[in-house]
C-alpha cells in the first residue's frame, strides 16, 4: 500500500494539474463507486484509474478481469496497473477515446476523471461514453463538490438523468458519487 502512495505522490509532483485528488481514494469510496456492478452485463470501462483503488473494488464486485478496460493517460500508472491486475486491459489513452477503443454495449463506465465545471470534458467524455453504453448502462462519477458534476442544462443536452449514490465522509476530501443514466423517453 505505501507503494501506491509513493507512486501517486510522485505523479502528483510531476503533473500537479493532472492528478486531481488530494490522496488516493479511500476503500469506502471505491466500494461506493463499484456499487451495482454485480448486476451489469458486458464490458466495464474505468476512466482515469490512477493507482487502481477503484479497479480493485470493481473486480471485487465480480467483474471478470477480461471484461474490464482501463483508460489511463499516465504511462507510469499504466505499468503499475498492468502489473497489479493481470487480465485487465490497460490502455494508455485519454477518457475522450472511449468511443474509439472498439467496445460497444458497455454495461457501466466508472469515472475518476474530474468532469466538474468543465463543459468541454462533459461533451468530450460523457457524450461518447453514452454512445458505447448499453441502453440500460450507467456512468458513475466521483466528485468532491456538493452538487452534481454535470449541471441540469448539460444533463438535458446530453440526454441523461443524474442520481446521487451517496457521500463518503471517510474520504479526504469527502467524496460524492453520482450515477448518470439515459433519459427514458
CATH number where 119 lies: 3.40.50.150
User: d(Cα 161, Cα 4) in Å, to the nearest integer?
Assistant: 34
Which among 132, 149, 131 is positioned nearest to 140, based on CA atoms? Answer: 149
pLDDT in tens for each of the 185 residues of the chain? 556 666 656 665 565 555 445 455 578 889 999 999 999 999 999 999 998 999 999 999 999 999 999 999 999 999 999 999 999 999 999 999 999 999 999 999 999 887 655 777 788 999 999 999 999 999 999 888 878 888 888 899 899 999 998 888 877 788 889 999 998 75
> What is the pTM (predicted TM-score) of this model?
0.83
User: d(Cα 33, Cα 66) in Å, to the nearest integer?
Assistant: 19
Residue range of the domain that includes 57: 2-182
Overall domain count for the chain? 1
User: d(Cα 9, Cα 145) in Å, to the nearest integer?
Assistant: 22
Q: What share of the chain is helix, strand, coil (3-state, %, to 5)?
A: 40, 25, 35
Amino acid at each position: 500500500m505505501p507503494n501506491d502512495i509513493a507512486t501517486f505522490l510522485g505523479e502528483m509532483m510531476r503533473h500537479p494539474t493532472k492528478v486531481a485528488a488530494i490522496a488516493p481514494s479511500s476503500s469506502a469510496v471505491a466500494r461506493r463507486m463499484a456499487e451495482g456492478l454485480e448486476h451489469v452485463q458486458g464490458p466495464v470501462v474505468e476512466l482515469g484509474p490512477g493507482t487502481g483503488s477503484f479497479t480493485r473494488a470493481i473486480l471485487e464486485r465480480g467483474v471478470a478481469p477480461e471484461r474490464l478496460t482501463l483508460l489511463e493517460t499516465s504511462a507510469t500508472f499504466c505499468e503499475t496497473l498492468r502489473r497489479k491486475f493481470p487480465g485487465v486491459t490497460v490502455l494508455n489513452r485519454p477518457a475522450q477515446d472511449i468511443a474509439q477503443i472498439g467496445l460497444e454495449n458497455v454495461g457501466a463506465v466508472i469515472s475518476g476523471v474530474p468532469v466538474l465545471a468543465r463543459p468541454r470534458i462533459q461533451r468530450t467524455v460523457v457524450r461518447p461514453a453514452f454512445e458505447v453504453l448499453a441502453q440500460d448502462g450507467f456512468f458513475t462519477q466521483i466528485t468532491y463538490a456538493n452538487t452534481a458534476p454535470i449541471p441540469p442544462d448539460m444533463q438535458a443536452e446530453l440526454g441523461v438523468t443524474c442520481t446521487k449514490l451517496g457521500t463518503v465522509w471517510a474520504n479526504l476530501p469527502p467524496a460524492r458519487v453520482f450515477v448518470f443514466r439515459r433519459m427514458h423517453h
